[in-house]
Amino acid sequence: TPLFTSPLAGPVLMSYLGHYLTQELAETESVHGVFLEVLGLGVLLKGNAGVGKSELALELITRGHRLVADDVVDLKHVAPETLEGVCPPLLRDFLEVRGLGLLNIRSLFGETAVKQRKNLKLIVELVQPDEIGERGLNRLEMVASAEPILGVAIPKVCVPVAAGRNLAVLIEVAVRNHILRSRGIHPVEQFILRQQEAINGQGT
Closest residue by Cα to residue 125 from 89, 163, 154, 88: 154
Residue 153, strand partner residues: 148
Assess contact for 75 and 156: CB atoms under 8 A: no
Active site residue: 46, 53, 115, 121, which one? 53
Residue 53 annotated in active site: yes
CA distances from 78 to 52, 73, 75 (A): 30, 15, 9
DSSP H helices, the chain, are 10-25, 53-62, 105-109, 129-132, 167-182, 187-203
Closest residue by Cα to residue 29 from 44, 13, 12: 44
Active site residue: 71, 93, 181, 186, which one? 71
Active site residue: 19, 32, 63, 165, which one? 32
Residues 6+ apart with CB under 8 A from 118: 35, 37, 42, 68, 84, 85
Residue 19 annotated in active site: no
Q: Count CB neighbours of 23 within 10 A.
A: 13
Q: Report DSSP letters for 102-153, one per residue.
A: EEEHHHHH-GGGB-SEEEEEEEEEEE-HHHH-GGG--SSS-EEEEEEETTEE
Residue 98 annotated in active site: no
Active site residue: 130, 135, 139, 183, which one? 139
Residue 121 annotated in active site: no
Tell me the catalytic residues: 32, 53, 71, 139
